[in-house]
Amino acid sequence: MFRGRRFSCTGFAGALALVLSAAPPALAEDAAPAQASATSEREVSPPELIEFAEAAYPEEARAARQEGRVVLKLRIDVEGRVTRAEVVESAGSGFDEAAREAALRFRFAPARRGEKHVAAIILYAYDFRLPPEPAPVEEAPPAPAQPPPDSTARAAGVSVGPAKLPIDVMVRGASEADRLRRSAQAVQVIETEEAQRQTADLGEVLARSEGVSVRRAGGLGSSARLSLNGLTGDQIRFFLDGVPLDLAGYAHGITNVPVNLVERMEIYRGVVPVRFGADALGGAVNLVTDTDVRGTHASASYQVGSFKTYRLTLSARHKHEPSGFFARVNGFYDYTRNDYPIDVEVFDELGRLSPARVHRFHDGYRAGGGSVEVGIVERPRAERLLLRAFYTEHQRDVQHNALMSVPYGSVTYGKQSAGAHLRYAQRFSRRTRLDAVAGYTYTRTAFQDLSTCRYDWFGRCVFELPQRGEIEARAIDQIVEQHNTFARFNLAWNPAPWHSLRFGLSPTHAARTGKDQAIPADDYDPLTAERGLLSSVAGAEHEWRPFAGKVANIAFVKGYSQVARTKEQLPNGNLRDLDRTSHRVGIGDSVRLRFSEAFYAKASYEYATRLPNPEEVFGNGALVLENLHLEPEASHNLNLGLTLERVDTAVGLVRFNVNGFGRFAENLIVLLSAGNYFQHENVLSARSVGVEAALGWSSPGDWLSLDGYVTWQDFRNTAGDGAFGKFEGDRIPNRPYLLAGGSARVQGSDLLRPRDALSLTWQARHVRAYYRGWESVGAADSKLVIPSQLVHALALTYTVKHGDGSVSGTVEVQNLTDEKVFDSFGVQLPGRAAHAKAVLEL
């Protein structure tokens, strides 16, 4: 959260323009959110120049009577030394080099937060001015020589007088993203500012990170499963501003959340903080929307692309400063036909199967929705008191079965979600803070299969079925309704500067009922059973930051409980009540050792438990069937990593991250395919070990940036008995084990007008071939394989800034080489696609 104050100051080297971003001291960086907020409220002072270095005026510019102004971005450390000087606004003609060389010899009195020295980044304007030319010499007796005023400055040709007008300086602490990266938590933070200007969806942005893969069942709007260090799907919990994603209006999944409504993504690897109240097995992803509540802001984006794709997002906010009243609205609309070409086998005139390229004809998707948030902020009795109401709707056609072997022409699936939640946050003292949210969400799922036609891949009705229903020999017309109530209570207490205690309690209740209107009235419809699932996660954690914050340790304990109530139909047709209760305990610890401000090591461990969710237990009212006997799954999760956020070298800025991980899971819940349907089963004990790494470099001036990542994971079945005991030691099928990717960005600024930027970005992602089935079954040449894939994307973006706003336009080509791409269960994904996007920020 931005905390700022203004200072009036005068410059001493032309116009001294400062926009200071002061990183907090070690203690403030690593403190809990409550303590970080307290620290940010202390008085902040900008750096003051105490040793000025004059620049050498370029001789060629002097001879040509050229003047110039160079704006530099200076990095100033906690001792007041300039560690890096980058040219932000160029003057050319040798001015840039001269200004940069001089600025590196400056010395500052460091910026301060309270009594602590802090690092800072400032913008500094260096003006090069020549003395006026002497007047023409007239024939007159020579006047006695007079030394010019300020002879030293004039001789140097550099104006060093005070600025004519006061300069505004805005000061802020380290961003929340930086604070999280440098904490003891096992978290990766992805900021979406650049992604918002491009056309990739949120799933694609996530897939460009080490350790993450996103597996889809088609194009935009299709079902998708995110995998993190081997664990996948619902083993990863998803949140929107700390609220479970399906309870915040996006029940259709994370990949269908518009990227322009998300400010950053926090990826927690295997070890999840208590504040989320999460029963995650493999980690969590928290989507953070616009956290700024100051002033008035509005934005809009519009995207058009191949396969008749259109996407629109709108958002606006306003704060009335005298009263603290705050209002925010968001909205989005997505539409696509997804009619991209695929390669299938069809019957020819002689009834033989032969390969053919066809267009998907029944894969349309449309979605829309919005939210309204009102309340008061930054008042004495409430830092936040906000009510958010929302409604979203997703409708999509189902083109084929899970293995893409049977086409459908009339199967449809839809989901509606509406609800509201109330958030309250308040600091009761300098040491105690409460953050609570509670709400209600209604979800309605509709699934229909009522056609009497059997379709081929060309979209033709090839023959009439004896009954309605393409999936099986019966009609399906299901409506499932779910009522959810939830709460999240988090209390933070800081008894001493180096200690923090946090407590969390997160109950959630889901009540479900439904009806299949195609089932005769005299037959039993299992959807009509009233079903309830009460889950609760409670936790406490202690954070300790000894040695002036160089070490940070978070130890925690969690308790899990779940009560399921429903009715079960026995094989003889009778019904019985089925009430099941589960209780589990988990523990964990995270530690961070900082060698310098931007160089640190982390290690973390959690014995994690995940309770089955309503969709896994009761089905999803569509293609996922119920399993009323699912047990919780558990895992020992370990991480060990080393991070260098940045290091300035003579050739540019270098960054890297390497992390090793282990996941040792028991009673794993796996989504299995039975051809037309899916069902979750407790079938495996498994272990996933691997390593992930990322390396990046940015040139001086940031005109060129290169980034790359690689992930290797070995995810194997360790069950010696049971349904999959004969496959002990095999890799878990249908999951990639080697992923890599990279990007390159070339950028120039001030090309056509001040503060504009033109960038060309190339992205590539590689997935090594992997088996769709168990690797020990069958001959090598008969196994089903997802082939190796290398996919490229190229985006050209032009941005113009105006005041605090901007306008940008992007043209992007995805799957540039038209690679044939397959994903989970061999489903073919879109080939080459072109998109254009415009974004307006006001």
Q: DSSP per residue over 43-65, as a string?
A: -EE--EEEE--PPPPPHHHHHTT
Backbone angles phi, psi at 435, to 5 degrees: -135, 115
The b-or-e profile of 398-408 (16+ CB within 10 A means b, else e) is bbbbbebeebb
Q: Which residue has the tokens 């460009």?
A: 208
CB-CB contact of 72 with 106 (8 Å): no
Domains and CATH numbers, the chain: 6-131+158-174 (3.30.2420.10), 179-183+186-841 (2.40.170.20)
Burial of 79 (0-12, 13-18, 19+ CB in 10 A): exposed
Measure the CA–CA gap between 57 and 524, rounded to whole angstroms. 90
Backbone angles phi, psi at 685, to 5 degrees: -110, 140
Which helix (H) or strand (E) covers residue 502, if one does? Answer: strand 499-516
DSSP secondary structure code for residue 197 in this structure = H
pLDDT tens sequence across 224-281 = 888 888 888 788 999 999 999 989 988 778 888 889 889 899 999 989 999 998 888 8
CB-CB contact of 28 with 36 (8 Å): yes
Measure the CA–CA gap between 295 and 481, rounded to whole angstroms. 40
Q: Which of 782, 783, 780, 810 is nearest to 798 (CA)?
A: 810
Measure the CA–CA gap between 122 and 168, rounded to whole angstroms. 12
Measure the CA–CA gap between 544 and 309, rounded to whole angstroms. 50
Q: Which of 753, 827, 819, 772 is nearest to 792 (CA)?
A: 819
pTM to 2 decimals? 0.77
Backbone angles phi, psi at 582, to 5 degrees: -130, 140
pLDDT for residue 154? 33
Measure the CA–CA gap between 104 and 76, rounded to whole angstroms. 10
CB-CB contact of 40 with 21 (8 Å): no
Measure the CA–CA gap between 802 and 65, rounded to whole angstroms. 32
DSSP secondary structure code for residue 727 in this structure = G
Q: What residues contact residue 835 under an 8 Å CB cut-off, 6+ apart? A: 199, 303, 304, 305, 306, 309, 810, 811, 812, 813, 814
DSSP secondary structure code for residue 545 in this structure = -
Q: Which residue has the tokens 């994370």?
A: 254
Instruction: Please report which residue ranges of 596-746 form alpha helices under DSSP H.
Output: 614-618
Backbone angles phi, psi at 767, to 5 degrees: -125, 125
pLDDT for residue 734? 83
Q: Which parts of the chain register pLDDT below 70?
A: 1-44, 114-115, 132-175, 569-574, 620-623, 673-676
Report the DSSP beta bridge partners of residue 574. Answer: none
Q: Which of 160, 154, 162, 163 is nearest to 62 (CA)?
A: 154
Structure tokens at 548: 């002036």
Measure the CA–CA gap between 410 and 609, rounded to whole angstroms. 40
Q: How many CA atoms lie within 13 A of 677 on its CB side?
A: 15
Q: Pairing between strand 785-786 and 770-771? A: antiparallel
Backbone angles phi, psi at 133, to 5 degrees: -65, 145
pLDDT for residue 741? 94
Structure tokens at 150: 């300020």
pLDDT tens sequence across 185-222 = 989 998 888 889 988 888 888 888 888 888 888 888 88
Q: 3-state DSSP call for residue 98?
A: helix
Measure the CA–CA gap between 5 and 344, rounded to whole angstroms. 64
Instruction: Please report which residue ranges of 497-592 form alpha helices under DSSP H.
Output: none
CB atoms within 10 A of CB 611: 23
Measure the CA–CA gap between 364 and 178, rounded to whole angstroms. 40
Measure the CA–CA gap between 342 and 753, rounded to whole angstroms. 45
Q: Pairing between strand 551-569 and 499-516? A: unpaired
The b-or-e profile of 534-549 (16+ CB within 10 A means b, else e) is bbbbbbbbebebeeeb
Structure tokens at 428: 């009761």
pLDDT for residue 114? 67
Report the DSSP beta bridge partners of residue 257. Answer: none
Q: 3-state DSSP call for residue 138?
A: coil
Measure the CA–CA gap between 801 and 842, rounded to whole angstroms. 10
Q: Which of 416, 140, 466, 119 is nearest to 252 (CA)?
A: 416
Measure the CA–CA gap between 301 and 371, rounded to whole angstroms. 17
Structure tokens at 760: 């060309």
pLDDT for residue 20? 36
Specify the amino acid at residue 63.
A
CB-CB contact of 411 with 398 (8 Å): yes
pLDDT for residue 455? 94
Q: How far apart, in Å, are the Cα atoms of 284 and each of 212, 254, 804?
A: 12, 12, 33
Q: How far apart, in Å, are the Cα atoms of 69 and each of 132, 343, 620?
A: 17, 59, 63
Q: 3-state DSSP call for residue 233?
A: helix
Structure tokens at 346: 């069809």
CB-CB contact of 17 with 71 (8 Å): yes
Structure tokens at 312: 């629109």
